[in-house]
Amino acid sequence: MNRRHFLRGFSATAFGAAALTLEHPFGFSLRFARAGTLPGRVLVVVFQRGGCDGLNTVVPFGDGDYYGLRPTIGVPAPGPAPECALNLDGFFGLHPSLDGLLPVWHQGELAVLPAVQYPDASRSHFSGQRLIESGAPAQELQGWLNAYLQTQSVQVGFGALGVGSLPHALQGAKRVSVLGDDVSFRLAVPAAEDAPLRRRLAAAYDPSLADSRAARTLLHEFGTRFLEDIALLNSIDLDAIPARADYPSTGFGRGMRRLAQFLKLGRQQPAFAIEAATINIGGWDTHSGQGGGEASGRQARRLQDFGDSLAAFYADLGELRDDVLTLTQTEFGRTAEENGSFGTDHGHAAAWFLLGARVNGGLHVGTWPGLASHALLQGRYLDHTVDYRDVYADVLENHLGVADASQVLPDQDDGHVPTPIGLL
C-alpha cells in the first residue's frame, strides 16, 4: 500500500486522531466534522501580501469625499481616458489596470467585495496576515485551510498545494506540498543515483523514526511527503499540458499557469487532484509613490500583473470554472487619505474578489459607510462592511460543502458567528 494513502486512511480513524494529537509537537488538535467535500471542488486562495489599497482597486468614484482625500492619487471617474476607472455600477469602478477582469464581471462570475476586514484589525503586516490566515481573532498555531483539510475524512489525491511557499493558511497537522512556481520538482542528482538516494532517504525520513523533538518530527513528516511528491511528479510532465491563455511573464503569472496545469492534471489523474491551493503576489505596501489610474504607477503595475494573471488563469480553466473557486485577499486596506509621499499607510477595510462559475457575480458591498470624516474609523480608515470570516463561511459551506463553517473556524473569541452572505 502506498504509504501516504495508508497514513491518510489511518489518521481518519478516531484512533489515528488520538495518536496524532498525542504525539504532535505543536499540540495541534485535530478537528472532526462530518466529511462534506463535494467531489472535485477546489479553492484557490491568492494572497496579496503587503496590504493592497482597496480604495484604488475598487474605486468609489461616486463617493463625494473620495477625491478630496486623494487629490493626487485618486483614480478618475469612468471616462474615455485610459487612466479612468472602469464602471461597475455607477458608483464603484475597477482600477483601469484590472481591465483583464472586466469580461469575468460581464459574465456575472466575479464577486467584488470593496470593504472586507474584521473588528479591531491589526495594522501589522505579519500579524494581520497571520490572523486572516488563522481565520480567528487570535493567532492560531494552524491555518484555516489546514483546519479545513483535517475535517475531510476522504482525502483527495494530492491534498493541497502551496505554490512557491507554505503560507500560514496551510500550516498545521496536515502536511501539504509546496511547489516552486518555476522549478520542476526533481532531485538534481545523476540519474543512476536518483532512485538509490530516494530509497535511502525514504528510510531515513520514515516518520516512525522521529523522536520527541518537534523539529525532528516536522523534518520526518515533510521529508516523507517530499519524497512521495518527487516519486509522483517524476512520473508526469506538467509542461505537456497546454495553456489555453496567455499569462503575463511574471512570477505570479508563471505560478498561476503552473497551478492551472496542475488542476487540469488532477482532472485527468486522480492522484494529482487537489482541494485547495495558495499562491502569493507581493509589492502592495505603497507608502510612497503609489500612483493613481495611470498605467505607470507603482500599484497600477502590480494590479496589471494581478488582474491579467487571474484573467488568464480563469480563461485557461475552461470547464473547471464550475468547480474551481478563486478567492483573493490581503491583510488590510490603506488609509483613506493619501499621505505626503503620494502613497497610503496601513489601514483597515480592503477589497477582496471571488471568481468562479458558481459565484453570485456583482458587488457585495453591505451598507457603504462612506468616506466622510465622521464615517471613517478613527477618522482615518474605511470601515469594513463584510467580516472576512463570513466570506470563509460562504466558501466552506456553499463551495466546499462543509456542513457548518464553525467546525473549521471554532475559536471566535469575539463571539462572531461565521455566516454565509450569499456570495455563492
The H-or-E segment that residue 229 falls in is helix 214-233
**Binding-site string for other proteins from residue 234 to residue 273, where x marks contact by CB under 8 A and - marks none:** ----------------------------------------
Q: What residues between 37 and 76 interact with other proteins by CB under 8 A? A: 49, 71-72
Q: According to the binding rule CB under 8 A, does residue 331 interact with other proteins?
A: no
- The C-alpha cell at 350 is 480592503
Distance CA 266, CA 269 (A): 5
Distance CA 91, CA 63 (A): 7
Q: According to the binding rule CB under 8 A, does residue 84 interact with other proteins?
A: no
Three-class secondary structure of residue 227 per DSSP = helix
Q: Partners of 45 in the beta sheet?
A: 278, 327
Of residues 161 and 354, the one with the C-beta less far from other proteins: 161
**Among the candidate windows 195-203, 263-271, 311-319, 363-371, which touches other proteins by CB under 8 A?**
195-203
**Binding-site string for other proteins from residue 106 to residue 145, where x marks contact by CB under 8 A and - marks none:** ----------------xxxxxx------------------
Please name the residue ranges forming H helices in 269-379.
298-317
- Whether 149 and 36 have beta carbons less than 8 Å apart is answered as no
Q: According to the binding rule CB under 8 A, does residue 195 interact with other proteins?
A: no
Q: According to the binding rule CB under 8 A, does residue 288 interact with other proteins?
A: yes
**Binding-site string for other proteins from residue 385 to residue 424, where x marks contact by CB under 8 A and - marks none:** ----------------------------------------
Distance CA 28, CA 74 (A): 46
- The C-alpha cell at 104 is 469575468
CB of 281 to other proteins, least distance (A): 12
Of residues 59 and 179, the one with the C-beta less far from other proteins: 179
Of residues 204 and 295, the one with the C-beta less far from other proteins: 204
Q: In this structure, which amino acid lies at residue 331?
A: E
Distance CA 48, CA 51 (A): 7
Number of residues assigned to the chain:
424
Place of cell 491583510: 331
Torsion of CA 164, 169, 174, 178, to 10 degrees: 0
Q: According to the binding rule CB under 8 A, does residue 220 interact with other proteins?
A: yes
Residue partners of 53: CB distance under 8 A and separation at least 6 = 284, 286, 290, 299, 333, 334, 344, 347
**Binding-site string for other proteins from residue 346 to residue 385, where x marks contact by CB under 8 A and - marks none:** x-------------------------------x-x-----
**Among the candidate windows 189-197, 240-248, 303-311, 386-394, which touches other proteins by CB under 8 A?**
189-197
Please report, as ranges, the residues that interact with other proteins according to CB under 8 A.
Answer: 10, 13-15, 19, 22, 49, 71-72, 122-127, 162, 164-166, 171, 177-180, 185, 187-189, 193, 196-197, 200-201, 203-206, 208-211, 213-216, 218-220, 222-223, 225-226, 229-230, 282-283, 285, 287-288, 339-343, 345-346, 378, 380
